[in-house]
Amino acid sequence: MKNEVLMEVQDLSKHFTVETSLLGKPVSVLKAVDEVSFTIGKGEAFGLVGESGCGKTTLGKVLVNLYSPTNGKIFFEGKELTALNETQRRSYCKDIQMIFQDPYASLNSRMTIGDIIAEPIIINQLLPKKEVEERVIYLLNCVGLARHQRNRYPHEFSGGQRQRVGIARALAVEPKLIVCDEPVSALDVSIQAQVLNLLGDLKMEFGLTYLFIAHSLNVVKHISDRVGVMYLGKLVEIAPKRELYANPLHPYTQALLSAIPIINPEKKKERIILTGDVPSPINPPAGCHFSSRCFKAFEPCTLKSPVLKEISPNHWVSCHLF
Amino acid sequence: MLLEVKNLTTEFKLKRGTVKAVDDISFTIDKGEILAIVGESGSGKSVTSLSIMGLLQLPGRISSGEINFKSQPLNKMSQEELRKIRGNQISMIFQEPMTSLNPVSRIKTQIMENIMAHMKITKKQALARTIEMLDTVGIPSPAERANDYPHQMSGGMRQRVMTAMALSCDPELLIADEPTTALDVTIQAQILELLYKMREKFHMAVLLITHDLGVVSEAADRVIVMYCGKIVEEADVKSLFAKPLHPYTVGLLQSIPQIDDDSDDRLYMIKGMVPNPLRMPPGCPFSDRCDSCMERCTQEMPELQELDGHKVRCFLYDKVKEGELNAI
C-alpha cells in the first residue's frame, strides 16, 4: 500500500519579499521554503519536524494551496497541480484539507459548529440540502461529539473539543490527504493523548494520508511512519521513523533528539547543547545553513550547500559528512 | 526552611459564584532546592506563584492561610514592604519573554532599574553589574547587547535577559513560571542548563512551575502534582517517576508518547476533561475521570496522607500503612 505515491513534491520553494527597491525589484528575500523535495505514499503519515521559523507551516500552506509556490512542482495522484490554473486547481482542494494549530482562532465564533462543519459540504455541493444535517451528525459522532452539540457556538467548547470540530470540518469533504499543522501543541497533556488517538483511529477508518507538522519530536514519532527534519527552509534528513530516532545522521537531528527532556530522572543522557540561536532566514549562513551552529562543521560546510543524498535505503541526509 | 506555605486558599469571587483556584495547599521549599509544581491549565499552579509574590489582581484574593518567607509573613505585608523583598530576595521569571519586558526601554535600563531599587550603589557600578549578569547568563558581547531593545533579541535571548534581571540582586528564591514553554527544544535545553548552573553558583532555591513532565524529570529535586487547585501528590523526583501513586499522575505519565518507545500502540487516555471550577464534583475532584473510582470517591474528599515520605491524596492508599508502600 505504501508503495503507491499520493503526493510528490519536487524542488518546491516559497519566497517572501521583505523589501523592494523604488522600482519594485525585490532587495531582500526570505526563503521560507527552499528547494524541498519529498514524496508521501498513500495511507502514510509523514511527519515534519523543526523549530519555529524553519518553514514547516509555510510548506503545509503551500500544499493546501493557501500560498502559491515560487518555484517547483507538486504532483498529486500523478497530476501536476502547479501546472493547473486556479479554477482547475480548486477541484483538487477538496482532496487536500488542513487542521490548524490554534483551535481558538481557526473556528468562526459567530457560526454554530453544525454550520462550520456543513459549510464545506455545501460549498462543494457534495450532498443535496436535506442530507447535509445527517452527514454533520455522522461526522460529529466520528470525532466523539454528541449530535445535540451541533447547535452550540465554539466558545462553549474546550480546546480539545474545538480541535475535534476542526477535524470534523476537514473530514467533511472526504479528503485523501490531511495536513495537520501542530494539531495538539495547544492542548494539555491528557487531552493531547485523546486527540492523537482520534487521529490514529480516523486514519484507519477512512484510509487517510497525513502530513503531520509538529515541533515536538515524541508526538511526531508516535503518529508518523516516516519523518523529515527541516532547518531554515531546507529538508536536512528524511528517514523511516525508527531509523531516524535510532540512527540520526545529520548533526542537527542529533542535537534536536538529544535536547528532548526524557521522563526518567534516573537516566541522565549526554546532551548536545547547540550554541547560539537559529540565524535569520533572510540572511542565512553561506553554504550549509546549519554550519554556524554545527559542532561538526568543517571547511566545505561554509562554502557549498550540501544536497539530499540517499545514504542507506530510504534514509536521506543533506550533509557534507556523508 | 526558606519558604513555607500553610493552608493557602486563593479565591476568585465572580458573579456566577466563587472559584477556589488554590484550595488549602501547604508545602515548603528549602535553601538551594528545586521544587516543581506540575499540573494542566486551570490546576492553580500559576495562581500559587502569584499568591506568593503578592501579585494577585482582583477579583482574586487570598482568603486564608499563611505564606512565610524566612519566618516573615508575606501575605500580611503591605505592598511597600513587599516591594523591598520582590526582585531582591524573591524574584520571578515569567512564561512570555516577549510580553514581560518593556518594549520601549533598553535592556540595560530595565536591569539597572531593579539593581538600583534594591542596592545602594552608583549608576556606574549598576551598569557594570548589569553587564556582568548578562555575561553570566551567556549573552555574547554583553556590553554591546546591553544597549539593545527587546525586539532586537530572539526569544531565547529575551528569556536570558529576564533571568539576568531576576538574578541581578542575588535572590534566595527564584520563581520560574513556565520558563521554557514558549521556546524551542534546543533553546529550552540551554535555559534549563542555565537555571541549573545558576542554582549551583548562587545557592538559590527555585520554584519551577510547568506542565511539562519532561522538564520536571530533568530539573527538579522534589515535585508537587496539582489538580483543580489541590495537591494530589508530592514526592521527590525519583520516587514520583519510579512509582507514581495517584491515578491522575499515573494517567499523565502514560498519556505522553515516549521518545524511546517503538510500539505503535494507542496512547493511554484520561477520559473526559477538567471539571468546570464552578461545578466541581462532590468528593475527589478527579473522581469523574478516574479509572479506579469507588463509590466513596464521589462523596468525600480524601486527605493528603504521607507514606514513606511520599504524599498522596487518594482512597486507594487508605489502608496502606507506613513501610508497606513497596509491597503494592
Residue of A nearest to B216 (CA): A263
Q: Kindly state the average pLDDT of the residues A154-164.
A: 88
Which residues of B are less than 8 Å from A258 in CB distance?
189
- Higher-pLDDT residue of B198 and A99 is A99
Has residue A202 got a pLDDT over 70? Answer: yes
Does residue A107 sit within a domain?
A: no
Q: Kindly state the average pLDDT of the residues A289-299.
A: 88
Q: pTM to 2 decimals?
A: 0.84
Where is average pLDDT lowest: A31-35, B113-117, B135-139, B146-150? B135-139
A and B: number of Cβ contacts within 8 A: 117
Does residue A143 sit within a domain?
A: no
Does residue A121 sit within a domain?
A: no
Q: Kindly state the average pLDDT of the residues A153-169.
A: 90
Q: What is the 3-state secondary structure (H, E, C) of chain A?
A: CCCCEEEEEEEEEEEEEEEECCCCCEEEEEEEEEEEEEEEECCCEEEEECCCCCCHHHHHHHHCCCCCCCEEEEEECCEEHHHCCHHHHHHHHCCEEEECCCCCCCCCCCCCHHHHHHHHHHHCCCCCHHHHHHHHHHHHHHCCCCHHHHHCCHHHCCHHHHHHHHHHHHHCCCCCEEEEECCCCCCCHHHHHHHHHHHHHHHHHHCCEEEEEECCHHHHHHHCCEEEEEECCEEEEEEEHHHHHHCCCCHHHHHHHHHCCCCCCCCCCCCCCCCCCCCCCCCCCCCCCCCCCCCCCCHHHHCCCCCCEEEECCEEECCCCC
Would you call B213 an interface residue with chain A, using a CB distance cutoff of 8 Å?
Answer: yes
C-alpha cell at B36: 516543581
User: Are B217 and A261 contacting, i.e. CB atoms less than 8 angstroms apart?
Assistant: yes
Q: What is the CATH number of the domain that holds A264?
A: 3.40.50.300
Share of chain A above pLDDT 90, in %: 43
The C-alpha angle with vertex B133 and arms to B130 and B139, in degrees rounded to 5, equals 105
Interchain CB distance below 8 Å, B185 and A197: no
Q: Measured between CA atoms, how close is B78 to chain A, in angstroms?
A: 37
Residue in B241, B258, B262 nearest the CB of A218: B258
Has residue A255 got a pLDDT over 70? Answer: yes
Q: Kindly state the average pLDDT of the residues B84-105.
A: 86
In chain B the domains, ranked by start, together with CATH numbers, are 1-89+173-268 (3.40.50.300), 101-168 (no CATH)
Does residue A15 sit within a domain?
A: yes
Does residue A313 sit within a domain?
A: yes
CA A134 to chain centre: 31
User: Are B228 and B248 contacting, i.e. CB atoms less than 8 angstroms apart?
Assistant: no
Which residues of B are less than 8 Å from A263 in CB distance?
213-214, 217, 241, 253, 256, 258
Which range of residues forms the domain containing residue A189? 5-95+175-317
Interchain CB distance below 8 Å, A259 and B185: yes
Q: Kindly state the average pLDDT of the residues B285-302.
A: 89
Torsion angles phi and psi, residue B185, rounded to 5: -60, -40
Q: Measured between CA atoms, how close is A305 to chain B, in angstroms?
A: 23
Q: Is the ipTM of this complex over 0.85?
A: no
User: Which residues, in sequence order, are CB contacts of A233 under 8 Å at separation 6+?
Assistant: A31, A32, A33, A34, A36, A54, A55, A281, A284, A289
Q: Measured between CA atoms, how close is B291 to chain A, in angstroms?
A: 14
| pLDDT score for B326 | 64
Residue of A nearest to B212 (CA): A189
Interchain CB distance below 8 Å, A277 and B217: no
* pLDDT, tens only, A229-238: 999 999 999 9
Which residues of A are less than 8 Å from B246 in CB distance?
none
* pLDDT, tens only, B228-283: 999 999 999 999 999 899 999 999 998 888 877 777 778 888 888 888 888 888 88
Torsion angles phi and psi, residue A226, rounded to 5: -130, 150
Query: What is the spatial distance between Cα A232 and Cα A54, in angstroms, rounded to a whole number?
Result: 4
* pLDDT, tens only, A19-65: 888 887 888 888 889 999 999 999 999 999 988 878 888 999 999 98
Which residues of B are less than 8 Å from A247 in CB distance?
none
Q: Measured between CA atoms, how close is A123 to chain B, in angstroms?
A: 34
Q: What is the 3-state secondary structure (H, E, C) of chain B?
A: CCEEEEEEEEEEEECCEEEEEEEEEEEEECCCCEEEEECCCCCCHHHHHHHHHCCCCCCEEEEEEEEEECCEEHHHCCHHHHHHHECCCEEEECCCCCCCCCCCCCHHHHHHHHHHHHCCCCHHHHHHHHHHHHHHCCCCCHHHHCCCCHHHCCHHHHHHHHHHHHHCCCCCEEEEECCCCCCCHHHHHHHHHHHHHHHHHHCCEEEEEECCHHHHHHHCCEEEEEECCEEEEEEEHHHHHHCCCCHHHHHHHHHCCCCCCCCCCCCCCCCCCCCCCCCCCCCCCCHHHCCCCCHHHHCCCCCCEEECCEEECCHHHCCCCCCCHHHC
Interchain CB distance below 8 Å, B40 and A189: yes
The 10 Å Cβ neighbour count of residue A303 is 11
Distance (Å) of CA B228 to CA A188, B21, B23, B176, B232: 14, 7, 8, 21, 9
Mean pLDDT of chain B: 88
Q: Measured between CA atoms, how close is A125 to chain B, in angstroms?
A: 35
Q: Measured between CA atoms, how close is B99 to chain A, in angstroms?
A: 18
Does residue A132 sit within a domain?
A: no
- Tell me the pLDDT band of A146, cut-offs 50, 70 and 90: confident
Where is average pLDDT lowest: A121-135, A278-292, B284-298? A278-292
| pLDDT score for B6 | 92
Nearest to B165 by CA among B196, B126, B121: B126
Would you call B288 an interface residue with chain A, using a CB distance cutoff of 8 Å?
Answer: no
Structural domains counted in chain A: 1
Nearest to B244 by CA among B30, B27, B38: B38
Longest dimension (CA), chain B: 68
Residue in B157, B193, B252 nearest the CB of A273: B193
Has residue B206 got a pLDDT over 70? Answer: yes
| pLDDT score for A1 | 44
Query: What is the spatial distance between Cα B10 and Cα B25, in angstroms, rounded to a whole number?
Result: 10
* pLDDT, tens only, B177-196: 988 877 778 778 888 888 88
Mean pLDDT of chain A: 88
Query: What is the spatial distance between Cα A255 and Cα A274, in angstroms, rounded to a whole number?
Result: 7
User: Which residues, in sequence order, are CB contacts of B120 under 8 Å at separation 6+?
Assistant: none
| pLDDT score for A153 | 92
C-alpha cell at B254: 502514560
Residue in A160, A189, A278 nearest the CB of B252: A189
Does residue A257 sit within a domain?
A: yes
Does residue A142 sit within a domain?
A: no
Interchain CB distance below 8 Å, A277 and B187: yes
Q: Measured between CA atoms, how close is A122 to chain B, in angstroms?
A: 32
* pLDDT, tens only, A61-98: 999 988 889 999 999 998 898 888 888 888 888 899 99
- Tell me the pLDDT band of A133, cut-offs 50, 70 and 90: very high
Would you call A229 an interface residue with chain B, using a CB distance cutoff of 8 Å?
Answer: no
